[in-house]
Amino acid sequence: MGIPGEVNAPSLSAQAVWRRCLEVIQRNLGSNPAPIRTFLGAVQPISLQEGVLTLRVPSQFFYEYIEEHFSVLIVRTLRRLLGPKARLEYQVMTAAEATPMRLPSQELPPPTVFPGIRTVQTFPTNLNPKYSFENFIEGDCNRIARSAGMTVAQRPGQTAFNPLFIYGEVGQGKTHLAHAIGNYARLLHPDKVILYLTSERFTQEYTEAVRNKKISGFLQRLQSVDLLIVDDIQFLVGKPSTQDMFFHVFNDLHQKGRQIVITADAYPSELRGMEERIISRFSWGLAAPLHPPDYETRLAILRFKLRQEGIEIPEEILSYIAEHVQSHVRDLEGVVIQLLAETSIRRRELSLSLAQDIVSRFKPLRTRAITLEAILKAVSNYFKIHIDELTGKSRRKEVAYARHIAVFLARKHTRSALKALGEYFGGRDHSTILHSCQWVSEMLPVNQELSRHVQDLERILLRTA
C-alpha cells in the first residue's frame, strides 16, 4: 500500500522526513494506531546526513521491535524521498542517560537535573530505595514492562504510556518495578512530586479522610502529585466508594498531564468487579505484562542475587535450580535461602544432591485459584465459628456478620455465579447473596473494623493459596 511518489528531496530535515515515514506507516496500519502511539511515539529523529536518518530510541527492545515491524516501510519511504542509497540507523538510549527524550512534535526543553537539589515534596514518597532498575533483571518475560517503565521514569506524563498498567501473577516483580520507576524518576526529576500507594493504603487513607471529614486535604495531596503509583489495584474490587474516588483522582491527574502507573494481577478487562469506566481508562495507555521468567532469566537472577550477597555456588547447582524452579522470582529466592540455611545452620555439604532434595520438597508460590472451601475455612478459623453455622440458618449477629464477609470474599475471589454461591451457602437465593455483597461493599469505606477483617482474611487467603 501507499508509498507516495516523492522525488529526491535532500533538503528535507530529519523531522520532516520522519513525519513522512509516520504518515506512510499510519496508512498501512489503517485502523490500528496503537503500535504507532506505543512504539513510534517515543522515537526522536536526531539527524539526517548523506541520506542516513538516525533515530533515537528509548531501549534495545524498542530498536528490535521497530526494526522487525516497521523498518521495511521506513527504508522504502526514505529511498523514495532521498534516493536509492538512503538508509536507517538507530541510537539506543542507555539506562545511564539522564536527559529525557522529546517527541518530535514537542517543543518543550528537557528538564535539567541539578545534583543535590531538594525536592518540593512535603510528604513521604513511600518508595523503597532498595528497588531499582539495576537490580531488576531484564529478560524476554519482562522486557516490555521494564522498557516502558524506564521511559515513563525519564519523561513522566509526556509519553503515550499514560497510564502505564503493569500486570502479572504474584511474585513476578510488579512491586519491584513500580518502586524502580518511582526511584528513577525521583533521581532524574528532583522537582517532581511522587507518591507510591498500595490500593489498601489508598483505601485506608480515603476511609480515614471520610471519617475525619478531611476529604479536601486527601484530594489536595493527591492532586499535587506528578507521578502517582498505585500497586495491586485489584484490591479495589468490591469497594465502589473507593473506586469512585480513584476514578476522579485518575481523571484529574490525567487531564493535567501527570503520570499514572498501575499494577495488578490481571489484564484490565479481567479485573472482574472493577467499574467499567475505570477499566476503559486503563486502556488509554500501555498494558505491559510480566510473565514467569525463562531459564536464562532465572539463571541471571540467581547469579545477580548471590553476587549481591557475596556467595559462590557451583554453576552446576545454579543451573539445576534455574531449570527446575520455573514459577516465580520469589520461588528462586526461597530455594536459595533454604539451600544456604541447610549449609550454614545444619552444616550440610553444599552439593547438587542437596539442591535436588530442597527443590523436590519446595512448595512453589505459583498462585492457585482461591476456592470456596478455602474461604469458608479461613473465615471459620478467623472468627472461631464452625463452618456448619456459616452455611446454616443461624441468625446470630456474629454468625451473620462472618457469613456476609465469607459471601463477599467468595463473590470477589471466585468465578461462582450468584445462584451457585446461594446453593453453597445453605441453599440461599441469589438476592440474599447479592445483599451480603452489597452490604459489605457499602460498609467497607466507613467501618474500620470490617475493613480490617476483610483485609486480614484476604492476606490469609493469598498467603495460603
Residue predicted with more confidence, 49 or 100 = 49
Residue predicted with more confidence, 261 or 97 = 261
pLDDT, tens only, 351-372 = 888 888 888 776 554 445 678 8
Give, in order, the Cα–Cα distances in Å from 79 to each of 23, 200, 307: 15, 55, 49
Share of the chain above pLDDT 90, in %: 27
Give pLDDT, residue 437.
86
Counted residue by residue, the chain has a size of: 465
Please tell me the distance from the alpha carbon of residue 465 to that of residue 461, in angstroms, as a whole number: 6
In this model, does residue 152 exceed pLDDT 80?
yes
- Share of the chain residues as helix, strand and coil, in percent rounded to the nearest 5: 55, 10, 40
This prediction's pTM: 0.54
Helix pair 199-211, 215-223: axis angle to 10 deg: 140
In this model, does residue 128 exceed pLDDT 50?
yes
Please tell me the distance from the alpha carbon of residue 152 to that of residue 182, in angstroms, as a whole number: 9
Give, in order, the Cα–Cα distances in Å from 100 to each of 94, 152, 301: 11, 9, 28
pLDDT, tens only, 44-82 = 899 999 889 999 887 665 676 677 678 888 988 899 999
CB atoms within 10 A of CB 29: 16
Mean pLDDT of 84-110: 55
User: What structural domains and CATH numbers belong to the chain?
Assistant: 14-92 (3.30.300.180), 143-290 (3.40.50.300), 295-360 (1.10.8.60), 372-464 (1.10.1750.10)
Please tell me the distance from the alpha carbon of residue 64 to that of residue 70, in angstroms, as a whole number: 10
The per-residue pLDDT of the chain, averaged, comes to 81
Give pLDDT, residue 373.
87
The closest alpha carbon to 74, from 59, 90, 61, 58, belongs to 90
Please tell me the distance from the alpha carbon of residue 204 to that of residue 384, in angstroms, as a whole number: 26
Residue predicted with more confidence, 232 or 41 = 232
The closest alpha carbon to 159, from 64, 58, 228, 89, belongs to 58
The closest alpha carbon to 72, from 21, 31, 27, belongs to 21
One-letter amino acid of 380: S
Residue pointed to by grid coordinates 538507530: 90
The closest alpha carbon to 375, from 464, 270, 444, 273, belongs to 464
The set of cell numbers assigned to 382 is: 478467623
pLDDT band at 265 (very low <50, low <70, confident <90, very high): confident
